């Protein structure tokens, strides 16, 4: 069983190998299953899509982003198409993870798919889909949202109690600050500094 650090390092290496135009050891393009891989990169218009992943505790947050035309958005199976793209990305992560580390990884959906569509123009929109997966086989990890206990050292608490306007230390020989703070309710007439001519 791999530790969570091994899983983080493995997923980090998978993500490092998944940029657009990445090559494998045989100098061939790595196929993830994204729309940007279809067609000729020079002759066809490029499709902007990609994904990123982050880990929080025993959860993997996978985010897929794609720019689409407005007519594709009104397709009846739009959400299932986005979910299919996320499934392709998950299968790529699992395959590459086992190839790089020699261990398998279990990813099960922990929440339902969250899709946000944002208006760019009358022709284009951008879609951001986020899916949360539970990383299996990690045992019990501490919840990030659990409250932390107060562990301040007594000397640090004493330092904080001094504060900016707190008591001066016993060994302080510095003269006091004779600068008077401006108070708009106690304004005096005349020159500010009587020594100025």
Range of the domain at 113: 4-135
- Structural domains in the chain (count): 1
Alpha-carbon 134 to chain mean position: 17
Does any domain span residue 169? Answer: no
Does any domain span residue 24? Answer: yes
Q: Would the pLDDT of 1 be above 60? A: no
Give the model confidence (pLDDT) of 29-61 as tens digits. Answer: 788 877 777 777 677 676 788 889 999 888 999
Does any domain span residue 43? Answer: yes
Give the model confidence (pLDDT) of 87-108 as tens digits. Answer: 999 999 999 899 888 888 889 9
How much is the mean pLDDT over the chain? 80
Does any domain span residue 37? Answer: yes
CB atoms within 10 A of CB 167: 9
The values of phi and psi at residue 115, to 5°, are -115, 130
Does any domain span residue 39? Answer: yes
SS3 97: helix
Does any domain span residue 50? Answer: yes
Query: Is residue 91 within 8 Å of 34, Cβ to Cβ?
Result: no
Alpha-carbon 172 to chain mean position: 47
Does any domain span residue 154? Answer: no
User: By mean pLDDT, which of 22-26, 107-111, 157-161 is the weakest?
Assistant: 157-161
Distance (Å, rounded) from C-alpha 188 to C-alpha 114? 63
The b-or-e profile of 127-156 (16+ CB within 10 A means b, else e) is bebbbbbebeebeeeeeeeeeeeeeeeeee
Does any domain span residue 188? Answer: no
């Amino acid at each position: 069983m791999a530790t969570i650090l091994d899983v983080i390092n493995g997923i980090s290496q998978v993500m490092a190998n998944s940029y657009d135009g990445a090559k494998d050891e045989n100098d061939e393009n790595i196929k993830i299953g994204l729309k940007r891989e279809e067609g000729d990169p020079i002759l066809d218009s490029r499709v902007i899509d990609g994904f990123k992943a982050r880990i929080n505790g025993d959860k993997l947050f996978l985010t897929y982003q794609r720019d689409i035309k407005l007519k594709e958005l009104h397709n009846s199976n739009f959400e299932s198409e986005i979910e299919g793209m996320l499934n392709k990305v998950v299968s790529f992560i699992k395959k590459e993870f086992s190839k790089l580390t020699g261990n398998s990884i279990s990813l099960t959906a922990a929440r339902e798919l969250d899709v946000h569509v944002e208006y760019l123009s009358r022709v284009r929109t951008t879609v951001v889909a986020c899916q949360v997966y539970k990383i299996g086989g990690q045992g019990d990890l501490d919840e990030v949202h659990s409250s932390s206990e107060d562990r301040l050292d007594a000397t640090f608490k004493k330092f904080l109690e001094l504060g900016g306007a707190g008591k001066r230390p016993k060994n302080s020989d510095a003269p006091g600050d004779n600068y008077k703070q401006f108070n708009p309710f106690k304004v005096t007439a005349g020159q500010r500094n009587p020594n100025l001519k």
